[in-house]
Chain A
């Protein structure tokens, strides 16, 4: 499973490449997961449009890297806070056995607000591969 923020795809290239390499090496499918608000966002007018864009992104990755891909979109009333719980829920629902996730280099703010990657790694019962 690869969590993606469609607003900042350019920042995710290392994680996307890592996930694709692993998928090809083990012949595993990749599920791209995204979380969107119910209100219009920089990516889409509404959740269904977001879901279509996420699916298009997944198929684009599949054709680019040559692995099997699907997508799963979630809506949240407060994505800034709910995202970690939503990703943990997604781990179960996608039945993923590995999460590959981009994460920033830890800094002092992590003591107040842990990074999403750090939080998912702390609470997930499957392996989490954080890409700095």
Chain B
């Protein structure tokens, strides 16, 4: 979207805003080395440190494949079992902060200044909010998670220390197991993850559009560190944001590759091996590179729109094929179940469901947090002109409702197929295969499974290309027009990190990477909440009077 801003046509400026007067000039710490014929424009030391560490990580993981797997697994178990209370508490704080932004007077602050007008229509804005957040995840977990919780809840040993059931489970009671399974799934895909995204996005939008600071994570911390944010405290924050984004994305890419491979095996009989997954990642990264080179409007946006249309078509098909009335009634009852179980599921203490809390919730919270710089920056860029209240209500509620609908359609239909058609193979299948087993129980299975594989692959591409743009912006010190060769570097290394993690321990390694980078970034986000309130309270509120 390129808009003409003639001098006299510029909405001048966007009305009163509290610009932070700082001596720092965007790009002043950048260096412009030439590597062969390629000119770079990179932040020193953010690019150098994060780039070198990522290269070292890829090399070491590939060289020491045998010992990398157990090491990653041990790290994941240590963090999720010892710090589950921290992740759950942090998640709850993020939700409360978002609610506070809705109900307090700061909700009338407008992103981009008091006279700013939205860049996108509601429909376009909502589409992009949703497309940014959870594409691959919804494809991977849409069937597998509700089924996993349902199966563990209905099993005889539900509620015992060895059980993976949420809360106390529902041994022998299929209806209660379904209710609990859907509530637990929606809990992981509802308000909490979107609250994490919303805080990062709101902070970035506020400090960039209203305060005039560079579009990097460190800008959120100006109220805390002042001018020191341009030094090492800020460098550390940005480097952690790069790691969190890269490893969070690599986790998604690894999951996507596993599921695309499972789907290709299911539809065409392609062998389901790590080698095939590596080839898939290479091929898809190549497509992502083309998208990156076509830019935000010509690549990312076009693919996102294709995604939305195809995903909506698949969702509608499952809703009608699975029984539209049962999906709609399930939507309401699942929403009620989510509301009833929200407090018990989010409680960090006084629970016996260690496996569920540590293995599922802790991992998810860490994963969402590690994705937050990437999704947050994307949401920030498309939310200019909205008030804080409007922004928070939309970012929290709209994607949550879509997630509830998606999980109800896919997960609810799968549970019905198990209960009513005896398709126990859905429950027995590997996580990445459950979607295709469910689709095989509906009409046109070959076509819908193929569409499923295509969706996974295209979501994979859009995650990779938009993630590259975000990491490139952070490592270029907030410049969005750094040389294109830098995007190519990050896009390539996202693929390489995903390959390295798959070779060095598979899904366990991917989850360990997300959890490990999510933890330090969770601490950073908690600090960001304070900075966000400080920034919001210094802003002029509401719409400027026309005469003003």
What B residues does A46 contact at CB under 8 A?
Answer: 13-14, 113, 209, 212
Q: Tell me, yes or no, whether B441 is within 8 Å of chain A by CB.
A: no
| Residue contact A37 to B480, C-beta cutoff 8 Å | yes
Tell me the complex Cα distance, A52–B12, Å. Answer: 10
| Residue contact A73 to B26, C-beta cutoff 8 Å | no
Most buried by A among B119, B214, B479: B479
| Residue contact A77 to B1, C-beta cutoff 8 Å | yes
Q: Tell me, yes or no, whether A119 is within 8 Å of chain B by CB.
A: no
What B residues does A75 contact at CB under 8 A?
Answer: 2-3, 5
Tell me the complex Cα distance, A102–B294, Å. Answer: 24
| Residue contact B7 to A52, C-beta cutoff 8 Å | yes
Tell me the complex Cα distance, A74–B10, Å. Answer: 10
Nearest Cβ distance between residue A30 and chain B, in whole angstroms?
Answer: 15
| Residue contact A79 to B480, C-beta cutoff 8 Å | yes
Nearest Cβ distance between residue B58 and chain A, in whole angstroms?
Answer: 24
What A residues does B27 contact at CB under 8 A?
Answer: 7, 42
Stretch in A19-27, A60-68, A105-113 with 4+ CB within 8 Å of B: A105-113
Asked, given contacts A7-B27, A46-B212, whether A39 binds B480 with beta carbons under 8 Å apart, the answer is yes
Tell me the complex Cα distance, A80–B19, Å. Answer: 26
Tell me the complex Cα distance, A55–B7, Å. Answer: 7
| Residue contact A41 to B479, C-beta cutoff 8 Å | yes
Q: Tell me, yes or no, whether B223 is within 8 Å of chain A by CB.
A: no
| Residue contact B479 to A108, C-beta cutoff 8 Å | no
Interface residues of B in 1-30 (CB under 8 A from A): 1-7, 10-14, 19, 25-28
Q: Tell me, yes or no, whether B478 is within 8 Å of chain A by CB.
A: yes
Q: Tell me, yes or no, whether B114 is within 8 Å of chain A by CB.
A: no
Q: Tell me, yes or no, whether B54 is within 8 Å of chain A by CB.
A: no
Interface residues of B in 460-518 (CB under 8 A from A): 469, 478-485
Nearest Cβ distance between residue A96 and chain B, in whole angstroms?
Answer: 15
Asked, given contacts A81-B298, A113-B484, whether A40 binds B7 with beta carbons under 8 Å apart, the answer is no
Q: Tell me, yes or no, whether B77 is within 8 Å of chain A by CB.
A: no
Other-chain contact of A80, B1, B25, B113, B295 (Cβ < 8 Å): B295
What B residues does A107 contact at CB under 8 A?
Answer: 37
Nearest Cβ distance between residue B112 and chain A, in whole angstroms?
Answer: 8
* Total number of residue pairs linking A and B with CB closer than 8 Å: 109
Tell me the complex Cα distance, A49–B10, Å. Answer: 9
Q: Tell me, yes or no, whether B215 is within 8 Å of chain A by CB.
A: yes
Other-chain contact of A42, B3, B215, B479, B485 (Cβ < 8 Å): B479
Q: Tell me, yes or no, whether A93 is within 8 Å of chain B by CB.
A: yes
Q: Tell me, yes or no, whether A86 is within 8 Å of chain B by CB.
A: yes
What B residues does A52 contact at CB under 8 A?
Answer: 7
Other-chain contact of A109, B13, B38, B384 (Cβ < 8 Å): B38
Q: Tell me, yes or no, whether B307 is within 8 Å of chain A by CB.
A: no
Nearest Cβ distance between residue B206 and chain A, in whole angstroms?
Answer: 12
Q: Tell me, yes or no, whether B213 is within 8 Å of chain A by CB.
A: yes
| Residue contact B215 to A74, C-beta cutoff 8 Å | no
| Residue contact A73 to B3, C-beta cutoff 8 Å | no
Interface residues of B in 230-254 (CB under 8 A from A): none
| Residue contact B298 to A40, C-beta cutoff 8 Å | no
Q: A37-B480, A47-B10 are in contact. List 13 more A-B contacts (CB 8 A).
A: A39-B480, A40-B26, A40-B208, A40-B478, A48-B13, A73-B5, A73-B10, A74-B2, A78-B297, A78-B480, A81-B293, A81-B296, A109-B37
Task: Enumerate 6 A-B pairs (CB-CB under 8 Å) in ascending A order.
Answer: A48-B13, A48-B14, A72-B4, A75-B3, A80-B295, A82-B297
